[in-house]
Chain A
Amino acid sequence: MSGVKLGPWAALVSLGTDNAMRGLSEMIGQDIEVSSFGLRRIQVVDIASIVGGPEVTSIGIYLTVSGSADGHLMLMYEPAIAFAFVDLLMGQPIGTTHELGEMERSALGEMGNVIGAFFLNAIADATDLDLRPSPPAVMADMAGALLDIVTADILLTQDETYVAESTFSVAGNEISGMFFVMPSEQLLSALATVRRAA
């Protein structure tokens, strides 16, 4: 993939993730402690296997990236985790939310807005690239169906992509989820150029 090493890209994704957690912490008004963070480069065709298989029901928050280059951001959580986020965002006891209605979609969409903007701003600031998130889409479906949104587009130009997995604690509750960061070949090339110039 453009000869880009995982190291520099991992540093940028880590920077972005830290900033996204900062944004989320501000949003819910509680401290967030990141307990683990990992970035993997994987074959696009194998992507569903890391979220438990293509048939597992998941809730996805999806944004596109535009500006200097294109890409995809997808946050994926098992429903119980996504519902816990809704409870945290709405200031109610965890375990209150049990379904994804309009209100819950709106809350998760706002979370996607904040995470997307904070994540991309950190990378944009570090690279001087212009990276803008789209409004988010919030969906509940089979994981494979959600991932098709991005895999079809990515497979046109590349066979591998990056997946960040983060585990963090909010108010004593450990939450883990997948953060798919799928830069286009164009974005990776732009980052490589910026970093060579730096």
Chain B
Amino acid sequence: MTTTVEAVGQSSLTPEQQSRDGIRRIALGLGDWRVSNDPDEDLVCLGLGSCVALCVYDPVAKVAGMAHMVLPDSTAARPGSSGTKFVDVAVPTVMEQVTRLGGIGGRLRVSLVGGASILAGAAFSGLPQIGARNVEAAVAVLGARHLKPDATETGGTSGRTVRLSVRTGELRVETAGRSARAA
């Protein structure tokens, strides 16, 4: 089998070599994304607060995609600052690359994880609710492509780690102080 892996990210894209059962955990930093059909990879976003992870999986083509999205809207950023840290750029980028590797729209399982308001848990107000806005933006951008998340683990006041298995499509979400569970 020919394995093709597409990965475009920023400097913080770090393959984690600690493997379990020969599986490499590829941790995506802020603004990173990755699309893969390598069954020996898990795509991971660690410690999501207000950031949102877009998780996409085609169970037939066994193609997985993930993006670690930080802000909702690239048009609100300063000139010259764009890229996949923004939801409106990351979602189309990942979807196009998933399609390139054989993913088909009607088969895709799309999930959103993250978008918490950590400060709300500390009764702190006054900053914009970036987490909720990230989730809203992701749902809207997906909706424009006729896609609806079929699983979400969003909001709340706690950070999360999410792992997506390229081999099986299993999505695991962990929260600080709580054990992993399937989203």
Contact = CB atoms under 8 A, between A and B. Distances in A.
Interface string B155-171: 00011110000000000
A145 B29 CA distance: 12
Interface string A134-174: 11011111111111110111011101000000000000000
B118 A141 contact: yes
B30 A153 contact: no
B85 interface: yes
B126 interface: yes
Say which size band chain B's interface belongs to: 35 or more
Interface stretch (B48-56, B93-101, B102-110, B142-150): B48-56
The CB with the most chain B CB atoms within 10 A, among A138, A141, A151, is that of: A141
B127 A149 contact: yes
Interface string B1-41: 00000000011100000000000000001110000000000
The B interface, classified by DSSP as helix, strand, loop or mixed, is loop
Contacts of A143: 47
A148 B81 contact: no
Interface string B117-148: 01101111011101100000000000000000
B176 interface: yes
A145 B71 contact: no
Interface stretch (A31-39, A44-52, A188-196): A44-52
B78 interface: yes
B161 A152 contact: no
B151 interface: no
A105 B121 CA distance: 12
A144 B45 CA distance: 10
Interface of B: 10-12, 29-31, 46-51, 70-71, 76-78, 81, 85, 116, 118-119, 121-124, 126-128, 130-131, 158-161, 176-177
Given A54-B46, A148-B70, A155-B81, 5 more contacts: A138-B122, A145-B47, A151-B70, A155-B30, A155-B85
